[in-house]
């Protein structure tokens, strides 16, 4: 197998060269290739830092190998014993060996380096540094049979740097920042490399150029690109990433999350690096693009876990309870988590792993549950797809796929019976168990279109009996007064939740005013076909006073008072009615509230000509017809709300009243357009043809 040697060179330090060597080496190895990374930055070695092998004992390195070659000593150890194997994720066929410069920084290393310099000055007879570096390269090829040898070359102008780039390399990746001295240095060196002699068996040297640590691509001075362009070879711009610059992270290393900066994961630079790999090593293009998708998915998840995106909850995971890239399982059966979330006792609560291929999700989830005791597993796919699993048996063999799309936050593990289950029912259960903030979660989730089973959300919330919770749910809806949220959530809840809660919210003012106005306008438009003019607003009130006497009923439950345009609900009367009919007071109240609001709208609503209908113009006979129509419209609205409790209450309330009140039943099947037409006829003072059967006497709003 042919080995390609790629040397990474920069004229100046601090350009991110060693980090790029480490990341490229890791990527190629993770892509199934055999890779050796050689640290020839002998005066300032650091590749072992980047590749995370600091805790591994170093038995020699490049300096000792060069030294023994030059001195002609018989080597007693193979390069494999000197090299450090960098562990790869499970299932990865590739390998990565690091040949460090030596045990730097240590006195022994500096002594070896000094000895090497001495030998180079005094022992040329046996051959010089060219022979020694070529010998090391040849031994690497013999012992590792790698497909790639990546060399971290010394900066500046040095003999070893020159040999690494001109004699060993098949390709040199030249890195520079946009600083003039760095660019000028690279220009001179690149021209020298272009003219440098090659061994007879070598192909012409290929040069790639990378402009690094660029704050924004648009800020790359045109002059820099112009200089490099004249040198030939592809040019890539890598952005600056403060997180990586500060913490020097590479892909594979397990690490805690330290910084509060949401950008510290360094996705920007990593993604750009992958794009460079895809263009510079075309055979790895698809894999590099896939790796970039993985990185984006993990980054997105990390942001979500920290509560820094999408949902404005302050209770994200603290950095100290998150860790990236953690290996689980035994050596022969292990798996790496991309993110692990821990509780405060360092017990893992949730695994996040990018699997990519949706078909492998179930198997991956089963592995996690069968091998660990972790409650929740989140598997990520492309397009930011995330699927949550929870375990349903002790053996971890039966896994449950959640419909939850977002990743659980710490509070979820406390409040939810199954943190992977964020259905409305589950969240409401948490609300009932003392976590009322989940109401906002439900509403916000629905508002941004993420709560699953959205059609059921209104029914679930409408089941809230507790007035305070009902009020909180309505208030949560008010945080978004867009037409979609009002029509889909606030309006139906306003009519279906306890009228005490609805009226309290209506009286609250502020953002509630807009939501309530839109709700009333929707009722006017959708049911009566009239326009609600907020210039003559309807207000709502609950009265504990006794209702005014009514000659034909047991008493008023509610009323519409044209002056000052107020819908009143008599709470005592509502309670008594509910008791008599064995109904819930809130259901009786809601029906009354709708009925009275419709009656109010029938008067204050504007027709196409912009006219209202003063109450005083209504004749007694027409009043009965009007009441029949209002009952019809109430029924139609209740049908639209699809609330069986309210429909049952409506039927029972009319059943209890005067028989004439059931006149509406005779027009139950009337089209709403005809009913609206009759209402308009009444408002204009002309009777409809044929008129509907009016109810005999019942004034509106009587139970």
Partner 1 sequence: MTNTASFATTEDELDTLVSIAIRRAEILDDEGSPAADEAWHEVSAYEQRLAAITAPSEIAGGVARVGAVRAALAAGHRAEAESLASKYLAETQLPAERRAAMERVFQEDRDRRARHFPAIAKSGRLAELAGWRAAAAAQNSRVFPMSEAA
Write out the residues near partner 1 by the rule CB under 8 A. Answer: 69-70, 72, 118, 120-132, 134-135, 138-139, 141-142, 157-159, 161-163, 165-167, 188-189, 192, 195-201
Cβ 153 to partner 1 shortest distance, Å? 11
In sequence order, what are the residues at sequence separation of 6 or more whose Cβ sits closer than 8 angstroms to the Cβ of residue 414? Answer: none
Bridge partner list, 539: 566
In sequence order, what are the residues at sequence separation of 6 or more whose Cβ sits closer than 8 angstroms to the Cβ of residue 565? Answer: 536, 537, 538, 539, 600, 604
Nearer to partner 1, 187 or 294 (CB): 187
Cβ 256 to partner 1 shortest distance, Å? 42
Residues 253/50, Cβ–Cβ less than 8 Å: no
In sequence order, what are the residues at sequence separation of 6 or more whose Cβ sits closer than 8 angstroms to the Cβ of residue 11? Answer: 155, 156, 176, 181, 182, 185, 186, 188, 189
Cβ 373 to partner 1 shortest distance, Å? 51
Cβ 40 to partner 1 shortest distance, Å? 13
- What is the rounded distance in angstroms from the CA atom of residue 295 to the CA atom of residue 281? 19
Bridge partner list, 5: 149
Cβ 148 to partner 1 shortest distance, Å? 18
Residues 607/676, Cβ–Cβ less than 8 Å: no
- What is the rounded distance in angstroms from the CA atom of residue 418 to the CA atom of residue 566? 46
The shares of helix, strand and coil residues in the chain, as percent rounded to the nearest 5, are 50, 15, 35
Nearer to partner 1, 67 or 238 (CB): 67
Cβ 80 to partner 1 shortest distance, Å? 14
Q: Which of 353, 354, 391 is nearest to 373 (CA)?
A: 391
Nearer to partner 1, 154 or 587 (CB): 154
Nearer to partner 1, 93 or 142 (CB): 142
By CB atoms closer than 10 A (0-12, 13-18, 19+), residue 359 is: exposed
Nearer to partner 1, 166 or 273 (CB): 166
- What is the rounded distance in angstroms from the CA atom of residue 629 to the CA atom of residue 699? 12
Nearer to partner 1, 69 or 501 (CB): 69
Q: Which of 434, 443, 405, 437 is nearest to 422 (CA)?
A: 405
- What is the rounded distance in angstroms from the CA atom of residue 439 to the CA atom of residue 436? 6
Nearer to partner 1, 190 or 322 (CB): 190
* CB atoms inside a 10 Å sphere around CB 278: 20
- What is the rounded distance in angstroms from the CA atom of residue 561 to the CA atom of residue 600? 8
Q: How far apart are the first and last CA of the chain?
A: 92
Cβ 162 to partner 1 shortest distance, Å? 2
* Residue that the structure tokens 């043809």 belong to: 689
Q: Are strands 148-152 and 235-239 parallel, antiparallel or unpaired?
A: unpaired
Nearer to partner 1, 5 or 597 (CB): 5
Q: Which of 161, 181, 159, 177 is nearest to 169 (CA)?
A: 161
Distance of CA 234 to the CA centre of its chain: 35
Nearer to partner 1, 142 or 261 (CB): 142
Residues 301/386, Cβ–Cβ less than 8 Å: yes
Nearer to partner 1, 78 or 254 (CB): 78
Nearer to partner 1, 161 or 316 (CB): 161
Cβ 186 to partner 1 shortest distance, Å? 11
Residues 683/619, Cβ–Cβ less than 8 Å: no
Nearer to partner 1, 195 or 222 (CB): 195
Cβ 209 to partner 1 shortest distance, Å? 17
Cis omega (within 30 of 0) for bond into 105: yes
Nearer to partner 1, 125 or 203 (CB): 125
Cβ 189 to partner 1 shortest distance, Å? 6
Cβ 135 to partner 1 shortest distance, Å? 4
Cβ 192 to partner 1 shortest distance, Å? 4
Nearer to partner 1, 167 or 427 (CB): 167
Cβ 63 to partner 1 shortest distance, Å? 15
Residue 264 CA: distances (Å) to CA of 187, 288, 320, 409: 33, 21, 14, 20
Nearer to partner 1, 134 or 326 (CB): 134
Cβ 228 to partner 1 shortest distance, Å? 17
- What is the rounded distance in angstroms from the CA atom of residue 596 to the CA atom of residue 615? 14
Q: Are strands 34-39 and 148-152 parallel, antiparallel or unpaired?
A: parallel
**What's the number of CA atoms in the CB half-sphere (13 Å) around residue 531?**
9
229-258: string of b/e by CB count within 10 Å (b at 16+)? eebebebbbbbbbbbbeeebbbbbbebebe
- What is the rounded distance in angstroms from the CA atom of residue 651 to the CA atom of residue 418? 40
Nearer to partner 1, 120 or 672 (CB): 120
Cβ 122 to partner 1 shortest distance, Å? 4
């Amino acid at each position: 197998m042919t080995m390609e040697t790629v040397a990474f060179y920069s004229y100046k330090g601090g350009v991110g060269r060693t980090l790029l060597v480490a990341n490229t080496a890791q990527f190629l190895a993770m892509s199934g290739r055999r890779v050796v990374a050689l640290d020839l930055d002998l005066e300032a070695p650091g590749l072992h830092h980047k590749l995370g092998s600091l805790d591994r004992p170093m038995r020699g390195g490049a300096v000792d190998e060069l030294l023994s070659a030059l001195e002609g000593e018989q080597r007693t150890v193979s390069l494999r014993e000197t090299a450090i194997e960098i562990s790869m994720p499970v299932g990865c066929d590739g390998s990565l060996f690091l040949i460090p410069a030596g045990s730097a920084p240590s006195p022994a290393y500096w002594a070896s380096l000094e000895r090497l310099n001495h030998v180079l000055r005094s022992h040329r007879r046996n051959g010089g540094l060219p022979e020694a570096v070529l010998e090391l390269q040849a031994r690497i090829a013999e012992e590792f049979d790698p497909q790639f040898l990546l060399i971290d070359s010394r900066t500046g102008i040095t003999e070893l740097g020159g040999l690494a780039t001109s004699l060993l390399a098949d390709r040199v990746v030249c890195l520079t920042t946009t600083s003039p001295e760095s660019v000028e240095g690279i220009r001179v060196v690149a021209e020298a490399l272009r003219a440098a002699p090659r061994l007879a068996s070598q192909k012409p040297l290929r040069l790639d150029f990378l402009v690094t640590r660029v704050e924004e691509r648009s800020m790359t001075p045109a002059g820099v690109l112009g200089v490099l362009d004249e040198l030939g070879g592809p040019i890539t711009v890598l952005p600056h990433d403060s997180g990586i610059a500060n913490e020097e992270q590479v892909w594979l290393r397990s690490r805690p999350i330290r910084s509060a900066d949401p950008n510290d994961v360094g996705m920007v630079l990593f993604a750009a690096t992958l794009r460079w790999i895809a263009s510079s090593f075309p055979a790895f293009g698809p894999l590099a693009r896939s790796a970039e998708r993985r990185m984006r998915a993990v980054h997105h998840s990390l942001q979500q876990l920290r509560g820094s995106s999408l949902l404005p909850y302050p209770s994200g995971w603290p950095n100290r309870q998150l860790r990236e890239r953690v290996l689980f399982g035994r050596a022969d059966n292990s798996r790496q988590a991309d993110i692990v979330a821990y509780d405060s006792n360092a017990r893992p609560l949730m695994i996040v792993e990018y699997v990519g291929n949706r078909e492998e999700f179930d198997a991956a989830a089963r592995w996690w549950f069968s091998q660990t005791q972790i409650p929740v597993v989140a598997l990520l796919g492309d397009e930011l797809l995330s699927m949550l699993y929870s375990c349903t048996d002790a053996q971890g063999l039966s896994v449950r796929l959640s419909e939850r799309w977002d990743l659980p936050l710490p509070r979820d593990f406390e409040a939810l019976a199954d943190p992977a289950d964020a259905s409305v029912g589950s969240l409401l259960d948490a609300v009932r168990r003392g976590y009322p903030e989940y109401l906002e979660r439900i509403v916000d989730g629905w508002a941004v279109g993420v709560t699953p089973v959205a059609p059921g959300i209104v029914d679930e919330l409408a089941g809230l009996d507790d007035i305070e919770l009902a009020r909180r749910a309505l208030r949560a809806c008010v945080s978004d007064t867009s037409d979609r949220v009002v029509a889909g959530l606030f309006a139906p809840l306003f009519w279906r939740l306890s009228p005490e809660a609805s009226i309290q919210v209506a009286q609250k003012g502020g953002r509630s005013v807009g939501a309530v106005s839109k709700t009333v306008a929707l009722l006017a438009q959708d049911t009566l076909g009239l326009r609600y003019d907020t210039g003559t607003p309807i207000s709502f009130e609950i009265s504990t006073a006794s209702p005014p006497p009514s000659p034909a009923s047991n008493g008023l439950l509610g009323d519409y008072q044209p002056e000052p345009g107020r819908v009143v609900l008599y709470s005592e009367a509502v309670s008594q009615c509910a008791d008599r009919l064995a109904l819930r007071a809130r259901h009786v109240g809601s029906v009354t509230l709708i009925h009275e609001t419709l009656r109010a709208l029938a008067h204050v609503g504007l027709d196409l000509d912009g006219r209202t209908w003063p109450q005083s113009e209504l004749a007694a006979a027409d009043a009965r017809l009007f009441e029949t129509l209002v009952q019809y419209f109430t029924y139609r609205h209740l049908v639209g709300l699809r609330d069986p409790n309210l429909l049952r209450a409506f039927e029972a309330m009319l059943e209890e009243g005067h028989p004439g009140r059931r006149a509406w039943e005779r027009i139950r099947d009337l089209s709403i357009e005809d009913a609206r037409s009759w209402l308009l006829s009444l408002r204009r003072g002309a009777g409809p043809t044929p008129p509907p059967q009016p109810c005999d006497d019942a004034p509106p709003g009587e139970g």
